[in-house]
């Protein structure tokens, strides 16, 4: 578990609808100073009498410390399931029980590199703060945002302002290039001489990016989207098969060994079965 994590009762400062999503801001005091791009937050949803007993995990969009010492935590919430709908219905002044920061963060290069950031739907949320951090390190940063339709592309104008170039793809062609992010990836890697790819989005998208990254010999850091019932490494519901440094395949917990992982080390499988060759099987 992230040693910097703490549990707070955070006040909702704002909740605004942005396209298909809710942009929410919480007051979290000094906790914000420990949050890095790629970390996530686990929130207790539904209230004290709710049957929704499991916390919900949300990627941190941005965390900042104001000059007056107030820490702000921003989230992008897609109101799809019962838990996220409850959270999206919170009003300014309400308080929510949250634990943050959790999980691993994106690795930041020590020297300037050419980075490509790829986000799918609301999975693009943690990439905006990452883009700012990379730019501060002198990196060239290009971004691809993809979704099924234009309304599910989050904050394209912010993306355009924060990177050197922005490419948008939609499955239905309602914005940008028709198709998926993987369709434009090879040309972008060659055009911008990409050294490292950072991605966040659906697992099928991450798998497709990994295949292309391997083909071009590009480092791929991805934030996996696994269901995290506890968020602190206890329940073992979010395990993935990953090749370790010693060459063995181990089932690792996405919530504490991730969510940011080396995409080229993950054994992508949609069968939800433990693959052959896993240590101890």
pLDDT digits (tens, 9 = 90+) for 180-207: 999 999 999 999 999 999 999 999 999 9
**How high is the pLDDT of residue 214?**
96
pLDDT band at 55 (very low <50, low <70, confident <90, very high): very high
Q: Say if 198 falls within a structural domain.
A: yes
**How high is the pLDDT of residue 230?**
85
- Alpha-carbon gap, residue 258 to 104, rounded angstroms: 5
Judge if 88 and 131 occupy the same domain.
Answer: no
18-27, 45-54, 170-179, 189-198, range with the lowest pLDDT: 45-54
Instruction: Determine the longest span between alpha carbons in the chain, in angstroms.
Output: 55
Residue 121 half-sphere exposure toward CB, CA atoms < 13 A: 18
pLDDT band at 93 (very low <50, low <70, confident <90, very high): very high
pTM, to two decimals: 0.92
Q: Which two tokens stand for residue 87?
A: 């959270």
Tell the burial category of 111 from Cβ atoms under 10 Å away from its Cβ (0-12, 13-18, 19+).
exposed
Q: 171: how many CB neighbours lie within 10 A of its CB?
A: 13
Tell me the CA distances in angstroms from 31 to 71, 73, 224, one per residue in order: 7, 9, 23
Judge if 146 and 70 occupy the same domain.
Answer: no
CATH of the domain at 94: 2.40.30.10
pLDDT band at 279 (very low <50, low <70, confident <90, very high): confident
Percent of all residues in the chain with a pLDDT value above 90, rounded to a whole number: 75
Name which of 128, 112, 117 is nearest 37 in CA terms: 128
CATH of the domain at 164: 3.40.50.80
pLDDT band at 147 (very low <50, low <70, confident <90, very high): very high
pLDDT band at 157 (very low <50, low <70, confident <90, very high): low
Q: Say if 1 falls within a structural domain.
A: no
- Alpha-carbon gap, residue 232 to 110, rounded angstroms: 29
pLDDT band at 71 (very low <50, low <70, confident <90, very high): very high
pLDDT score of 148 more than 60: yes
Q: What is the pLDDT of residues 101-110, one digit of tens each?
A: 999 999 999 9
- Alpha-carbon gap, residue 159 to 156, rounded angstroms: 5
Helix axes 181-192, 203-216, angle to 10 degrees: 30
Q: Which helix (H) or strand (E) holds 186?
A: helix 181-192
Tell me the CA distances in angstroms from 112 to 9, 135, 140, 223, 257, one per residue in order: 39, 9, 7, 22, 26
Q: Say if 109 falls within a structural domain.
A: no
**How high is the pLDDT of residue 272?**
60
Number of domains in the chain: 3
- Mean pLDDT of the region 142-168: 88
**How high is the pLDDT of residue 199?**
97
- Alpha-carbon gap, residue 196 to 107, rounded angstroms: 10
- Alpha-carbon gap, residue 195 to 37, rounded angstroms: 19
Q: Say if 45 falls within a structural domain.
A: yes
- Provide the residue range defining the domain that includes 15: 6-102
- Mean pLDDT of the region 241-247: 88
Name which of 177, 209, 207 is nearest 196 in CA terms: 209
Establish whether the linkage from the previous residue to 259 is cis, with ω within 30° of 0: yes
pLDDT score of 70 more than 70: yes
Judge if 217 and 147 occupy the same domain.
Answer: yes
Tell the burial category of 215 from Cβ atoms under 10 Å away from its Cβ (0-12, 13-18, 19+).
exposed
Judge if 138 and 93 occupy the same domain.
Answer: no
**How high is the pLDDT of residue 226?**
86
End position of a domain, from candidates 63, 79, 102: 102
**How high is the pLDDT of residue 271?**
57
Residues in the chain: 281
End position of a domain, from candidates 76, 102, 128: 102
Q: Say if 160 falls within a structural domain.
A: yes
pLDDT band at 280 (very low <50, low <70, confident <90, very high): low
């Amino acid at each position: 578990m992230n040693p910097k994590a703490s549990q707070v009762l955070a006040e909702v400062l704002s909740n605004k609808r942005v396209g298909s999503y809710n942009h929410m801001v919480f007051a979290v005091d000094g906790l914000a100073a420990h949050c890095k791009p790629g970390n996530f937050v686990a929130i207790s949803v539904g209230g004290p009498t709710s049957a929704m007993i499991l916390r919900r995990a949300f990627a941190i969009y941005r965390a900042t410390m104001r000059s007056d010492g107030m820490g702000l935590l921003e989230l992008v919430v897609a109101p799809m399931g019962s838990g996220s709908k409850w959270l999206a219905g919170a009003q300014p002044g309400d308080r929510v029980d949250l634990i943050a920061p959790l999980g691993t963060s994106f690795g930041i290069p020590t020297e300037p590199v050419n980075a490509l950031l790829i986000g799918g739907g609301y999975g693009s949320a943690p990439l905006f703060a990452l883009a700012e951090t990379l730019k501060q390190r002198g990196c060239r940063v290009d971004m691809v945002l993809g979704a099924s339709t234009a309304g599910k592309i989050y904050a394209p104008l912010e993306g355009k302002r924060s990177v050197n170039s922005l490419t948008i793809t939609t499955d239905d062609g309602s914005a940008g290039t028709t198709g998926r992010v993987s369709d434009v990836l090879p040309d972008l890697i060659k055009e911008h001489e990409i050294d490292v790819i950072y991605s966040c989005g659906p697992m099928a998208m991450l798998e497709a990016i990994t295949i292309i990254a391997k083909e071009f010999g590009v480092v791929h850091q991805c934030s996996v989207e696994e269901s995290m019932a506890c968020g602190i490494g206890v329940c073992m519901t979010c395990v993935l098969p990953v090749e370790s440094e010693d060459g063995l395949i181990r089932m690792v917990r996405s919530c504490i060994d991730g969510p940011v992982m080396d995409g080229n080390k993950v054994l992508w499988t949609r069968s939800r079965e433990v693959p052959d060759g896993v240590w101890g099987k």
